[in-house]
Amino acid sequence: MEKIAVFLMLLCATSQIASSVKDGLLPNGNFEYGPKPSELKGTKVMSPKAIPNWEISGYVEYIKSGHKQGDMLLIVPEGAFAVRLGNEALIKQKIKVTKGMFYSLTFSAARTCAQEERLNVSISPNYEKNDFGLLPIQTMYSSNGWDSYAWAFQADESEIEISIHNPGVEEDAACGPLIDSVALKTLYPPKRTRANLLKNGNFEEGPYIFPKPTSEGVIIPPQIEDDHSPLPGWIIESLKAIKYIDSEHYTVPEGKRAIELIGGKESAVAQIVKTTIGSTYALTFAVGDAKNGCEGPMMLEAFAGKNTVKVSYNSKGKGGFKPAILKFRAESERTRIMFYSTFYTMKSDNSGSLCGPVLDDVKLLSIRRLHHL
């Protein structure tokens, strides 16, 4: 049976047939099926279609877990294999999707060489100008050296090609990030309701989170607009990323998903909401910790237009949360709701990993409507 599965994957790769995918890994998205020995020169992949279901260009290496690079041991986050994208390296795969739908791509990446490594994530065809993600990966947020990143898009056609490209050129052509576990998830844009004027206030709609036990959550990069955000309804309005976490691996205040503000004032999330001038509103939310070793005093700041409140939370790193509220009178027809962490916080495991307060269960209601509930 195993040989048949390998044969089918090779056949698919050879004919470049677009795969129809459900939520989860792309076909051979964890790169466990690799090139034939004749298509490798050491670790370098020599043929454009050597990796089943993928097409490559540039300096691409096929890396086995435990591979040594000088004194450095390369670790693969899932399974036994990953790919390394060296100079101008690109991997791409065709898939079938639903035209007009929104999707989020999640993949794992690790830096192996340069400090300023970055990845260009894109889809084709794409009728929107400059709609691609240039993701900086020089800051590592996890304790194990790997981070999972999310990037979202709207499908312009029913068949698309997803590309992950390292645009860098180093003296050592092999120098570049490791890539593993590429997955896709359909996003369903949330709507405002009578019970909440904010979209996706509980953060339940978001990118795919890998189910493996060692998941460190998903990094949502900065400067992501709400129309194509992996966190529908929200804008990542900051210089640094935020982290998307789930109840399977962390403690979250409500439901199954929440966000962790991991970059101090440089890690902000915002949403613009329609309001009535002169009306009074109540912004309620929960502040806590993820039970991930993020200990010490924390401070979360919430903004509604020019109004603000600071909420202190003393974390013991063992989970827990407290409710908070900000009442304000709207001064315009559109009010910006924004949250960030006042301080930088690091995990207590000596890894140097950034962490921060968890935000969840964000609701906005008019005071008048509150009285009627």
Residues 183 and 222 reside in one and the same domain = no
- Is residue 144 classed as helix, strand or coil in its secondary structure? coil
Residues in the chain where the model's pLDDT stays below 50: 1-15, 372-373
Residues 157 and 290 reside in one and the same domain = no
Question: Tokens at residue 223, please?
Answer: 């400067």
In this prediction, residue 111 carries a pLDDT of: 81
In this prediction, residue 315 carries a pLDDT of: 93
In this prediction, residue 134 carries a pLDDT of: 77
Residues 181 and 32 reside in one and the same domain = yes
What global pTM score does this model have?
A: 0.90
Question: Tokens at residue 68, please?
Answer: 């040594």
Residue whose C-alpha is closest to residue 139's, from 241, 229, 71? 241
Alpha carbon distance 203, 274 (integer Å)? 19
Please identify, among 187, 206, 238, the residue that sits at the C-terminal boundary of a domain: 187
Alpha carbon distance 23, 106 (integer Å)? 11
| Number of domains observed in the structure of the chain | 2
- 371 in any annotated domain: no
- 195 in any annotated domain: no
Residues 172 and 248 reside in one and the same domain = no
Residues 270 and 345 reside in one and the same domain = yes
What is the CATH classification number for the domain harbouring 127? 2.60.120.260
Decide: 102 and 153 in contact? Cβ < 8 Å. yes
- 230 in any annotated domain: yes
User: Which residue intervals of the chain are DSSP H helices?
Assistant: 2-15, 367-372
The 3-class SS string of 75-112 reads: CCCCCCEEEEECCCCEEEEEEECCCCCEEEEEEEEECC
Angle made by CA atoms 324, 227, 139, in degrees to the nearest 5: 70
Residues 81 and 168 reside in one and the same domain = yes
In this prediction, residue 114 carries a pLDDT of: 65
Pairing of strands 55-57, 90-96: antiparallel
- 203 in any annotated domain: no
Q: Count CA within 13 A, CB hemisphere, residue 231.
A: 31
In this prediction, residue 369 carries a pLDDT of: 54
Please identify, among 143, 169, 187, the residue that sits at the C-terminal boundary of a domain: 187
Residues 130 and 234 reside in one and the same domain = no
Residues 167 and 36 reside in one and the same domain = yes
Please identify, among 142, 166, 187, the residue that sits at the C-terminal boundary of a domain: 187
- 50 in any annotated domain: yes
Residue whose C-alpha is closest to residue 250's, from 240, 239, 262, 238? 262
- 10 in any annotated domain: no
Residues 135 and 223 reside in one and the same domain = no
Give the amino acid at 80. Answer: A
Decide: 268 and 260 in contact? Cβ < 8 Å. no
In this prediction, residue 17 carries a pLDDT of: 61
Decide: 12 and 93 in contact? Cβ < 8 Å. no
- 127 in any annotated domain: yes
Q: What is the pLDDT of residues 53-72, one digit of tens each?
A: 999 999 999 999 888 777 77
Q: What is the pLDDT of residues 246-280, one digit of tens each?
A: 999 999 999 999 999 998 888 899 999 999 999 99
Alpha carbon distance 73, 259 (integer Å)? 31
Residue 158 contacts by C-beta under 8 Å, 6 or more apart in sequence? 96, 97, 98, 99
By residue range, what is the domain housing residue 250?
Answer: 218-366
Residues 182 and 223 reside in one and the same domain = no
For residue 308, which phi and psi values (nearest 5 degrees)? -150, 155
Residues 252 and 349 reside in one and the same domain = yes
Alpha carbon distance 261, 265 (integer Å)? 9
Residues 286 and 146 reside in one and the same domain = no
Tokens 């202190």 sit on residue: 312
